[in-house]
Amino acid sequence: MQDPDKDISHVVALLTTSAHPGAHKAAVERFFTSDAGLKHPLCVVTRGPNSRCEILGAYQWYRILSPRAVVEVKEIVYNRRKNVLFLEVVQRFRVRWSPFPPIPARSIVRLDLEERDGLHYIVLEEDLFHPVDVAALVIPPLKPFVSLALRASNFVHYIGAGIAQNVGVWKPEPVRTTVTA
């Protein structure tokens, strides 16, 4: 990429929605370094010699599972000094044989870049998903159950904090407010 914050939306489209396997493979080989890494809630590729081949396998499996994925880059933040891109991405991923309609899943993608000969290449991709969005991505009908489990977990946290504070653990002082005229 010559200009990462302007080029990245096109790069994401090539990596996630290419219609032809050859173009898809060429995109992975063009934009990732040969020793790149990938961190995703459902897979990890450790950086190392020729690790890009494993990343290609992960991206190919993504396309095989969901040949009609729809991916939209909503926001882009580029830290030029650190050579890092942050993307807000929303995708509608439908498993090929699933009877369930796709549900939008939001993620934050961090791309660590490396500059070589005036071009920027991806050395590490890290995809960050909320658990509810992982459920929406993999098995959409699980989304409400995961959401319910997270709410139940928060209720346990709330009750546990109240009990602990009543016995003097981590109890905040009352806040006094003054009204000025």
Q: What Rg value do the Cα atoms of the chain yield, rounded?
A: 21
For residue range 115-150, list pLDDT tens digits in order: 999 999 999 999 999 999 999 888 889 999 999 999
In the block, residue with structure tokens 């993620």: 107
**Beta-strand (E) ranges in 13-141?**
32-40, 43-45, 70-79, 84-92, 105-116, 119-129
Q: How confident is the model at residue 181 (pLDDT cuts 50, 70, 90)?
A: low
pLDDT at site 173: 84
Domains and CATH numbers, the chain: 4-141 (3.10.450.50)
Tell if the pTM clears 0.75, that is, is over it: yes
- Quote the tokens at residue 46: 């450790």
For residue range 73-124, list pLDDT tens digits in order: 999 999 999 999 999 999 998 888 889 888 899 999 999 999 999 999 999 9
Q: How far apart are CA 51 and CA 44, in angstroms?
A: 11
